[in-house]
Amino acid sequence: MMDAWGDRIYNNYAATEGLAAIECEEHRGMHVMEDLAIVENVDRNYRQVPPGVYGDKLLVTVLFKYTQPLIRYEIEDSVRFADSACSCGRPFKLIDSIQGRLQEVLRLPAVSLNHYVSVHPLIFHNIMDTLPVSGWQVVQEVDGLHILLAGMHGTIVDDQIKSLVQQALASRGAAVPHVEIEHVLSIPQTIAGKTPLVKSNMPRG
């Protein structure tokens, strides 16, 4: 990095809701700015996970927003806190790995029996982001994939979209699922006001 940029590069992690973390000179991970927010790492049932273990989501309580307080605001990022203190001496928690947003990774039955494949959201982005629509969402249901399209214009037809999605999934070793397309006025938001592009409504065991 020094040769390429002429200076040391520092990684950081942040969300508009007030969460922020940044590397120190040790580059062992990113220190959470705990003077600005209280951050809890929890599993899918909102139980705190210990350091060294990936959680399913973060609960963030922001300490500096007075107009619109955020208390245990849910951010669906899977991170891991380090199980040892950083040698820099700073007391803040250290995020040593970010796994991503687990809700966006779908598990589909594989072609081979009794197996599943993980489908990264990038597979859907490569198709859906090229469509002449104002918004989209892929939802995994028990009976297959439901694709919501908003503000569609142009000549591409639903059958073409279905075929592209099914071909992409088959190339990853997934059993080709049923795909249903619904045209909507707008993509529905969650109770937190977010619009996830890829989500699963499958029951979790």
Going along the chain from its start, the domains and CATH numbers come out as: 2-100 (no CATH), 103-200 (3.30.300.30)
What is the SS3 assignment for 3-30?
A: HHHCCCCCCEEECCCCCEEEECCCCCCE
Contacts for 112 with CB less than 8 Å, ≥ 6 apart: 173
CB-count burial class (<10 Å; 0-12, 13-18, 19+) for 37: buried
DSSP label at residue 104: G
pLDDT in tens, 92-145: 999 999 877 655 778 899 987 678 898 888 899 999 999 999 999 999 999 999
pLDDT in tens, 150-179: 998 877 889 999 999 999 999 999 999 999
pLDDT above 80 for 74: yes
pLDDT above 80 for 11: yes
Cβ proximity of 145 and 138 under 8 Å: yes
In whole angstroms, give the CA distance from residue 23 to residue 9: 9
pLDDT above 90 for 67: no
Cβ proximity of 83 and 93 under 8 Å: no
